[in-house]
Structure formats: C-alpha cells, structure tokens
Structure 1
Amino acid sequence: MKSEETKNIGLRGITIADTRISMVDGERGRLFYRGYPIQQLAEQATFEEVILLLLYGHAPTLADIRRVESNLREYRQLPEEIFGMLKIFRPSAAPMDVMQAVAAALAQFDPDLQTDNREAVGRSCLRLIARFASAAAAWQRIRNGLEPIRDLDDSSHAAAVLHGMWGRVPTAEETRLMDLLLVLHADHTFNASTFAVREVASTRANLYASVSAGVGALSGDLHGGANAKVMQMLLEIGDLDKVESWISQRIDAGQRIMGLGHAVYQTEDPRAGILRKVADKVLQRPEDRRWFELGLAVEQHGKAILLEKKKLVLYPNVDFFSSPVLYGQGFPIDMFPVFFAVSRVSGWCAHFLEEHFAEAQPKPQLYRPEASYTGRLCAQQIDDGCNWPDLDSRGLDPAG
C-alpha cells in the first residue's frame, strides 16, 4: 500500500500488530474472544469467566473461577485515600475525567507495582478491575451527596457494581442483566482506547498509566461517549411521530445518527443483535418500552433515509440498544461511558499483558509512527517575515 493511501485515514484498515485476545470479522459481523464467539459467551459465560479467558487465554476451570471470585472480593475494597480523593472532586465533574484520574491514582496502592513478572501483573490486573468498578460506584454516590458503600462482598462483580451504585443488593434478574452487559463490552480488539493502552504500554509505562490513557480515549463522543449520545438523541426526538423528520433534518445538516454505523463492521455489529433482543425482553414497563420502540423507529428510518440521501448502508452498533437498557436500569446518562469502562478495563488489562510481555509478537516494541510535515520552513538568511527575532531586540530575558 502506498504511503499516500495510509495517511490521514485514522489508521483504518492498517494492521499494526498481532493479537491473540479478540478478533473482529467486519465483513461477516462476527466477534470472538480468544476464539469463542460472542454469542456463545453472552449465553453461557459469566463476566468472571470472561476476565479469566481474556487475561489467561483459556477457558477457566471451576477452581479458577472460585479463585478469581475470591480475589475480586478481596481487592474490591478501596483505600480510604481514594474515597478522600473522590470527595475532593466537584459534583459537576465529568465522570470519565474523574475515573481517568482514579485509574492512575490506584497505582500507588498496588504492592505488585514494581514486580515485573506475568503472575504479579496478573494480580495487578485483578486489583484494577475490582477497584475501578468500586471507584465508579462510589463516585456516583459521592457526587449525589451520599456515603459510598464500603463493604462490597457480593458474590459477583456485576452484583457489586450495582450494589455499590444503588446502595441495595440487586435482584438475581438485575445481576444477570448487568453480567451480560459486562460480557458484551469486555473487548473489541484494536479499537481507539485499546490502541491507546497498548501504545502507552509499549513505552514500558505501568498498567495504571496505560489504562488511564485508555479511559481518556474511551471518553470521546466517537468511542465510549457514543452510548450517552444515543440516549440523548432518543430523549431529544421524544416521540415516534417526530423520528422521520428529525433524522432527515439531521442528515441534511451533515450530522451523524448516533449508534448507526461502525468503523469496522460492514454489517450489523453482533453485539447489537444480542442487545436488541435483550432490550425487547427487559424494557417492558411503559416508561421504558417507549425508548426501545423509539430506537427501533430510528433504526428503521435512519437506515432508509441514509440509503436514499447518502447512499450509505449503516447498521446499529453496540451503543444503539445498550443505551435504552442502561437508562431503564437507572444509570445516569453521563455514567454510560463509565459503565463501558468498568467492563472494558478487563480487555485493556489483557492487551497490556500481551503488549508488555510480547505474547503475540517476537519482542516488545515501542510504537513510533512517522508523520509527513506539511508546514513551512524558515531560513534565517531570508527576510520573509519567517525569521525569529533575537531576545534583545524584543526586550525579553528568561532570567527576568
């Protein structure tokens, strides 16, 4: 491929590394974690099993599952300093900004931080997965003037997330739904945030610095922030009768229909297909059902109008139906990306391990791409207004 064809395209279609963690088949709409199709994992695996699968590369035994459940319960307790840190932030702070800071701050409380072997970093991964979720739940309570739940000894990670956020033990149905959502969002190969994690990891930065970079990338409206934008879109439309005109005006203005289209999938995102069925099943109350029906209408009219006006064939992505499901579960819209991160930290940790220990490459390698400079070049001998005057002529002295 010529260099002109690989520049200024957001690295789309450019293969930069090998990975054994997950695979996206964009043409056929397939997603695999360590070789297992997402549909099978969504139906038959718990999030704890997916954590083990992503981190260690094989289907876990029952003993493995019990061990990781015990580890997560132990690691779930946040250091008091983190609670204190969360109370310093303004309640109006963007949740993803808070969580990016927390991800980096957790490093100082990890006894394995300076131990550079696979076993120790694996323990660090479990600590980060557990504590990141606890911090997210604590922040939701603290910013609303409530005391965080400190004793989260729930049997599952999904239950602990909901318990910590709501202040009550979730029902079995609520826990199973959250567990499924966590499984579906756990990894998606070299997306923007995962690439950020791996790029930072390639510098030999630690796990927490790398994951903090991933949180920052995920906060963007074109990545993890898209699920919040989908729900804001549904709220703005508000009524089935307004869908067609709203979409037409949006497209005529050259704006996106949030939740439709994907950078990789040329057909429907397999997670969207699963979530459509989930939304249909769980959004039964009239006040929740309206958002599912509105989403179906946006999907139908959005696809038709995009095809007619732009000759584009776009399909729903993972954000499209996860948004009304999260909204129906009582998640604040600005916490949607935080939920995404609570799940995706498991995948980020797996990619950190693979990058740091070169598990799919011959050796660790620093990412160092090049850029073509297109600005002007100044030559001192030419008086073209491009020369930099000396300090004395401008009365400047760095010493004051």
Structure 2
Amino acid sequence: MRDQEPGPGHPERRLTTKEAAELLGVKPETVYAYVSRGQLSSRRTPGGRGSTFDAKEVEALARRNRREGSGSPGSGSELSVRTHVTFIDKDRYYFRGVDAVELAARHSYEEVAEWLWTGRLRTGITFTAPEESVAAARRVVEALPEHTGPTDRLRVAAVAAAAADPLRFDLSEDAVLGTARILIPTLVAALPPKRPSHRDEGSLALRLWARLSGRPADKARLHTLDTALGLLVDHDLAASTLAVRVAASARAHAYAAVSAGLGVIEGPLHGAAAGLAHRMLLEVLDLGSAAPVIAEELRAGRRVPGLGHRLYPGEDPRARALFALLDDIPEAAPALAAARDIVATTARHAPLHANVDLALAVLTVSCGMESSAGETIFAVARTAGWIAHALEEYGERPLRMRPSGHYVGPKPPQPQPLPE
C-alpha cells in the first residue's frame, strides 16, 4: 500500500522503498544509491523505520532510465551491478556479509583478500612472487624518471608482470587467483625501498612499509598500516572498480583489468585525495592552526580534502577505525590534533565528517612518509578488491558493461562539411 494517496490534504504522493524499487525495476539498495547520487530525494517515515519517495520524482527517473537505455534488463547498461563482494549500509560496510572493520582489525591484509576472493579464511597466508616476475617489474620501474609517481610505477610494473606471465590469458578462477597472489607482491617489490639494506621478508604490510618509510616499523604502526590495507580492499563500485569491471567484461586479463583501475585512481577525487590531505595536514602543523589553511582552501574554490563521503552521512567507518589505532601511537598525537582541528573548523559552515583520506594522511604524516604514500597504500590495497570484481565479471555475459549513448548533437542528416 502506498504511504500516502493524493488528496486535498496530501498533494504529494509518496512511495515506499519497495514500491519505488518495483517502479524503477531495481533492488531496494539501488534506490538508496540513487539518493546518494542526488538523483532522488527521500523522507524518513514517522518513527524512522524506513524512507518514502516522491512518486513524481521516481516516475520521472524511471522514464529517463527507459529513454536513455539505463537499467533495462539485457540492455548492457545496468545501473545496478549484482555483486557478492561489498555491501554498504549507512555507517557500516561488509565484505561478503562480514563486518569489514572487524575483519580488517582481526586479520592481515592477505587474509582479508583471500576472504574477499574465495569466501574462505586462510589463516597465516602470505603472498610471494616468483623472481622472474619481480625482476621484470623492477627493470621497467628503474628505467622511469626519478620524479615518477607511485601510480605510474605500479602501472608499468603490472604491465611488465603481465608480459612475464605466459598464462595471463587463462581466465579460469584458479588461474586468476594465482595471478592475484603473484601480482600484488610483485607491485610492492617493484617499488624502490627507502633503505637499501632491506630484505623482502614477512607480511605484505611489512614489505610495503619499507617502500613508504625509512623508519623502523614498530608493532603498533605496522598493525595500523596492515589494518588500513584491509579496510581499503574494496568499497563497492567506486570509479576505479567500475573501470576494472568494464575491462573484465571485455575479457581483458587480470593484469590489464588492474591496470584500468590504476589509471582511474590517479585522479585527485579518488586515490590521490589522501596526498592532498597529507599536504594540508603539514600546513596546519606548520602554522599551528587549521583556520588559515581552511580559509585558503575555500578562497581558492577548492573542496577541503579528507572531509565528507557521499555514501556515509556520518563519519567514514574506515576513518573511525584508523583514528582509534592512531590514538595509541604517541608520535601520531600532533597530526591527530591537527586533523581534529580541521574537522572542527570546517564544521562551523559545513557538517562534514572525516573520511579515510584524512585518516591516511595522519598515518603518513606521523610515520615520516611522503605525501604520495597514501595513494600507494590505496592502490596496493584496492588491487585485491579489483581482482574480486574481475572474477565476478568473468562469470557474467561478455561485454554487458556497454551503455548506450544519448545523442544530443545536431539532428541528422546534416550536409557534408566544406573544406576550409
């Protein structure tokens, strides 16, 4: 039954979530995704046990979807992609139905990755790569200019590792899983270490630490880095993940699919956002106050990095988990205080909460890492999630991720252009 029928006292007809989903031909979760994208508005029902939607808005969106070929079964352009990997619900998110924050806190990055790929928890697993894969990746990375960023290094390392793998075109599940367990440690090993005497041993987090910081890795900081990797493994259909699924839909091999994801995260609105937050945090620490730094960001018309997330009305659960761990690291206290100053200062005009980029910035600043370290952590972590989505996409109809263009140019036929 509809929440409200039109009438003299109720000029606006409201639909329940179930009714809106049926009208749009999507799952109820997708209705809330439309809300988060700003395509629909919602209103909490009395008592707060659900939401209702303006019927006219829902009907207009349904018409637009039909007109543009979006979301119609079999059109190859579904707005909603079926996945078993990650579910985001208000202020929490889950990997294969398991609370992701708790999973990352209790298990290593490699164990979280295995859970995401297979639904099995392989306690104590570590990823290692054959020497020929590492050697090929290191050769091409060492040939890059000194100023090359981490994402460029990871991208060419992935290409080199692919060229060294004659079985890369085998898209069976076992083969792709084998690729994943080799590719991730290869990417890490290809990055230049901060200490030349470093030996590649131990967990992936320990090996990555040696590429990010010249300081020794104590237990607390290493656990924080490992937890950050686990928290960042996947986050539903982020832009880079969608790119990976498009590549996998075209049956690109796993190395190429990961390369597609690496190409997307270099943008300042995705993986590189943590670097912007890192530099802002250093400015706040240098000036002793967030106020002038925030003022300059706003004066320049820029968004304050590290704040707000369209999927979470409150604080990003990944940020909350990392801040709790950083609270136990004495050296992180100044950077934590600066981050809290940023949040409090910005809250005077916008109720924005900290997101994972700000938490990564606190980690990288307090551990003496470069501003690009957050981007590196994000890219290495997310590679496991990209593999999980590629595996799912290999099981779907090929080339289904192909939307139809909505042409808005001059009405054809037009006359042939004259030479200038």
TM-score normalised by the chain length of structure 1: 0.79
Match of 2:5 in 1: none
Give the aligned partner of residue 227 of structure 2. Answer: 180
Give the CA RMSD over aligned residues: 2.8
Structure 1 residue corresponding to 2:241, chosen from 177, 183, 194 = 194
Residues of 1 paired with 2:123 and 2:202: CA distance? 11
Cα distance change, pair 367–91 in 1 and its aligned pair in 2 (3 A): same
Segments of structure 1 that go 5 or more residues without pairing to the other structure are: 307-312, 382-386, 395-400
Match of 1:270?
A: 317
- CA positional deviation for 1:125: 1.1
For the Cα contact (< 8 Å) 1:248–1:305, is it kept in 2? no
Distance 2:256 2:292 in 1: 45
Match 2:383 to one of 345, 350, 355: 345
**What one-letter code is carried by the residue in structure 2 that aligns with 1:96?**
T
Q: 1:232-272, CA deviations, whole angstroms, 9 ceiling, x for partnerless residues? A: 11223345754234424533553211111113212221111
Cα distance in 2 between the residues matched to 1:315 and 1:164: 30
**Aligned: 1:20 with 2:84:** yes
Query: Unaligned regions of 5+ residues in structure 2, if any?
Result: 1-60, 72-77
Instruction: State the one-letter code of the partner of 1:269.
Output: D
1:279-335 superposed Cα distances (whole Å, 9 cap, x missing partner) = 2222x23xx4322111101111112222xxxxxx32211111111112222221123
In the TM superposition, residue 343 of structure 1 has moved relative to its aligned partner by 1.0
Report the CA distance shift for 1:294/1:168 in structure 2 as closer, same or farther (over 3 A). Answer: closer
Q: Does 1:243 align with 2:290?
A: yes
Following the alignment from structure 1 to structure 2, what is the Cα–Cα distance between the partners of residues 204 and 276? 40
Matched residue, 1:354: 392
Say whether residues 1:291 and 2:291 are aligned partners: no
**Alignment CA distance shift 1:206-1:333 (3 Å):** same
Which letter does structure 2 place at the counterpart of 1:124? T
> In 2, are the aligned partners of 1:76 and 1:131 still within 8 Å (CA)?
no
Q: Flag the 1:74–1:84 CA change in 2: closer, same or farther, 3 A.
A: closer
* Structure 1 residue 377 displacement after superposition: 5.0
Contact map agreement 2:157 2:186 (CA 8 A) in 1: no
Higher share of residues assigned helix? 1
3-state SS in 2 of match to 1:51: helix
State the one-letter code of the partner of 2:327. Answer: D
Q: Which residue does the alignment assign to 1:161? A: 208
Q: Deviation digits for residues 4-60 of structure 1, max 9, x if unmatched?
A: 58999xx9xx842111011111xx2111111111231133122121011011023x2
Q: CA deviation digits over 1:173-194, x for unaligned, max 9?
A: 3432221121111111111111
The verdict on how the C-alpha distance between 1:249 and 1:4 changes in structure 2, with shifts beyond 3 A counting, is farther
Maintained 8 Å contact 1:227/1:323: yes
Aligned to 2:13: none
Alignment correspondent of 1:46: 108
Residue number in structure 1 paired with 2:162: 107
Q: Per the alignment, in what secondary structure is the counterpart of residue 333 of structure 1?
A: coil
- The AA in structure 2 aligned to 1:42 is A
What is the Cα deviation at residue 168 of structure 1? Answer: 8.3
SS in 2 for 1:31: strand
Quote the Cα distance in structure 1 between the aligned partners of 2:279 and 2:65.
Answer: 36
Aligned residues: 352
The amino acid that maps onto 2:367 is Q
Letter in 1 for 2:93: L
How far apart, in 2, do the equivalents of 1:76 and 1:164 lie? 18
**Is the aligned partner of 1:130 residue 2:185?**
yes
Match of 1:222 among 262, 269, 280: 269
The residue matched to 2:128 in structure 1 has which SS? helix
